[in-house]
Every structure is written in C-alpha cells, then in structure tokens.
Structure 1
Amino acid sequence: MSADPALARFADIRAWVFDLDDTLYSSHTGLFRQVGDRIQLYLQQFLSITPEEAVEVRRDYYRRHGTTLRGLIVEHGIAPDAFLDFVHDIDHSPLDPDPELVAAIERLPGRRFILTNGSLSHAERILARIGFDKPFDDIFDIIRADFLPKPNPDTYARFLGQNGIDPATAVMFEDLPRNLEVPKSLGMATVLVVPRGTSDVPLEAWETSANAAHIDHLTDDLGAFLARLGPLG
C-alpha cells in the first residue's frame, strides 16, 4: 500500500466502480466530442431545428433531465435504442491501447465495475480498443438503469443492489463532479478524473463550487493514480 496517508482508505476498497467516457480514456482523444456531435445531429434531424437551436435544446435537457436521451424520452417518447445506435456510431481510431491502465485495473483486489450513461455495446467497443479482456465483473449501462442517467439516485441504488456492493468499501471514478455527489453521500470514496494537465475541478457554468466537497481525490492520470496505491489486498 502507498505510504501516502491520504490514500489509506483504498486498502479497504473491494468494489472499484468506473465511469466510461472521458474517464477510462483521455478527453483529449475527442472521442466523446464525436458522440456530442452525433447528439446534435440527431436533435437537428428529429426536431427539425437549426444547429444553434440544437445546442440550446441539448443544454436544457442535460440540466433538467441528466442526459439528452432522457429529455427526448420524457418529452417526445422516442425509441431509445435507435438514439443510442445513432449517437454511438463514431470513429474509434483516435483511441489507442493503454496497457498501463489495463494492468493497473487488473491488479486491483476485489471486484471491478463500469457504471455508464452509455450503452453496453458502446462500452464494449471502448474497452476492447483500450485493451481490456473482460476484467470487469459487470457493465451497468443506461439500459440496465431503465434510462435514468447518473446522477439520479435510483440508478446508483439499482447498480449497488444488483451487484451486492457495500458503499463503505467502494470507490467511484468519474469525470463529472455532479455524478460523484450521490456516491459520496452513500459513503463511497470518490475520485474525479480531469483532463491531462488540469488541476482544478471542472464545473458547468450553472454548477457551484460546493460540488468539490464531494470529491476525495483528483487526478489527471488514472493509470498513474492507481499505480500509486501500490500493493493492495
């Protein structure tokens, strides 16, 4: 175990929970920006609106519903599978294998999970590209969540319940501060993954700095952070 006392709690962690997009890979790849562009295009086509209007609708749905998909389900009753297939139809070539991260996660004791607002098929494509060979005990996607995205408390409860996870021995890794508030309130340790070279907590314009109270650790290099933990278990 690392000699850093701030990391002492990780010796007791037995459930390692990771977000997917912009967490298990760097946001600098632009991969999730591709998803964002596809979301914009879907909104333009489905609602017959301009690109500028699509930006505003996406921002509004994100704030009020958690994701664009949830907003479209609630307000327009769309078929979610078609939406997910459309927005995840992206070019994965910018994403390179990350053997250091793969090795670091495979060394973790206990169980390892993905909790994502994306789809299972999207997650599987990302993980294969990074170089993972099924080291995760479960991939809990937006479909399993009944299309209720993080940070909805019911989604965390469903995920923890289905996997029999004790929050007191679990940690959540996320790139969005708002998605760490519920895990922290449940007793989980929290780690915010920020873009490389970043040292501040990134916040949306409508969020407040109070979100930082829900963040135990911040890192701009997930693989290096996990390696700092040293031998565990």
Structure 2
Amino acid sequence: MAFDPTNVDCWIFDLDNTLYPSSSRLFDQIDVRMGEFIQNLLGCDATEAHRVQKLYFHDHGTTLSGLLHYHAIDPYEFLNFVHDIDMAALATAPRLAGKLAALPGRKLVFTNGDDAYAGRVLAGLGLSDSFDGMWDIHAMNYRPKPEPSAYSGLIEAFGIRPETAVFVEDMARNLAPAKALGMQTVWIDAATEWGDRAKDDAAIDLTIEDIDNWLASLADHPLLG
C-alpha cells in the first residue's frame, strides 16, 4: 500500500542515522568503541574484534546481544563504554523540533541504544522535548529490533494501535516486524553499509532519503495539522 499519513496518531522513530543524517558519522565513533571493547574483552587484535563485532550484529540484532549470548558482560558497562563519544557532529544536523511538533499525535523513540545515550543525542539535536516516550534496549530486555518481542513490548507499554502508527527507520530489516503488526513503515535509504540488508520491499510503504525534507512535506499536507 502507499503511505497515507492522514490516519496516523503515533509516530515512532528510530534514533541513529534516522533523527540525524548518516553523514554526521556519529555511529562510526561507536563502531570504533565497540571494536575496542571486544579487543579488551577477548584479548584479540582489531581485525578479529571487527569480525566478531559484525558477526554478533548480523546474527543477534546488536553487538551487545551477541556479547550477552556468548560472554558474561555487564550491559551497562558495555553501553557506557561504547557511547563515550563526541556529540559535536550533531551541531550541523538539521533542526527538526518544529517539524516534529507539527505532526498530529504522539511521537516516540524506538532505539536499540540505551536511554542515557539517546538522551544525549536528542539534546545535541535540540529534541529533548520533542518526544512523548522512549523504548530502549533495557526496556526490550536486551532482545533488540528486529526481535518481535521488542515491538510487542513497545505496543503494550504505550497502548499503541498499530493500524494508526508509522515506524521510521534506516535499517530495512527492522521494518518487517512493524509491518506485520499493521504499522505503516518508512525506510530512510541512507546508503549505509547495513541499511538495505535483508530488505523486504513488501514491508516498506515509503522510501525516503532525507527525514528533514520528508517532515517538511508532511507539514504541507492538506489533511494534516
């Protein structure tokens, strides 16, 4: 079906490479930190750490979930380490607060990151007051997108009616569970390494390249507001 914003009363957004452009390269810093964590944990070199990191990400949804599956680590220690990054790159990201405020209904963040990191990102984007709630990796009990339980937990916690919700995400594989539940889906094709992995065209109602321009177009929609 074609994307139709007129019956949407809940707007759900991924965080990384969604609310800010991939050109900010913020996640590149996290990627380096994850490699360093794995090197320290396993006593391996950078090449092996990179292999393990991407294997866990591919097989378990996040590197953290793979680490929890195979190693006795403290998730808070991992998250604090990998998210110790410079947020200065967000200063040049588009300012979305006004455009988000113009959307009718609730706005939620649905992220495989944690709330502390997400809060710093939102602050850096000037979006600290733009959202009505957040569903993070701790709330998911470390079973991240695209695990179905992550979505069902979000829906139950916030009383979401999937048929009147839209999910916006840069990782195509994370849209299929939302679509299966009845949500509309928007894929941000940011041309990143993993963005189109396991992409199912039938699970995507709309593909965009830029969230800033898309939100601007919604603000001009005659049936919204």
Q: 1:41 to 1:98 in 2, by over 3 A?
A: closer
Choose the corresponding residue for 2:31, options 1, 18, 36.
Answer: 36
Equivalence for 1:184: 179
- Give 5+ residue unaligned stretches, structure 1: none
Per-residue deviation, 1:107: 0.8
Per-residue deviation, 1:94: 1.1
Choose the corresponding residue for 2:20, options 16, 25, 28.
Answer: 25
Large movers: runs of 4+ above 3 Å:
97-100
TM-score for the superposition, normalised by structure 1: 0.89
Per-residue deviation, 1:226: 1.6
Q: 1:29 to 1:97 in 2, by over 3 A?
A: closer
- Give 5+ residue unaligned stretches, structure 2: none
CA distance in 2, matches of 1:175, 1:186: 19
Equivalence for 1:228: 217
1:214 alignment partner AA: A
Q: Secondary structure at the match of 1:171?
A: strand
1:218 aligns with 2:213: no
Aligned residue pairs, count: 220
- Residues 1-233 of structure 1 mapped to structure 2, 5 A cutoff: 6-7=2-3, 9-96=4-91, 98=93, 100-195=95-190, 202-204=195-197, 207=198, 211-229=200-218, 230-231=220-221, 232-233=224-225
RMSD: 1.7
TM-score for the superposition, normalised by structure 2: 0.93
Overall identity of the aligned pairs, in %: 40
Q: Secondary structure at the match of 2:144?
A: coil
Q: Deviations over 1:124-169 (max 9, x none)?
A: 1111111114121111110111111100000100011000000000
1:114 alignment partner AA: V
Q: Secondary structure at the match of 1:114?
A: strand
Q: Deviations over 1:84-128 (max 9, x none)?
A: 000000011111265642211111111000000001011111111
CA distance in 1, matches of 2:205, 2:72: 38
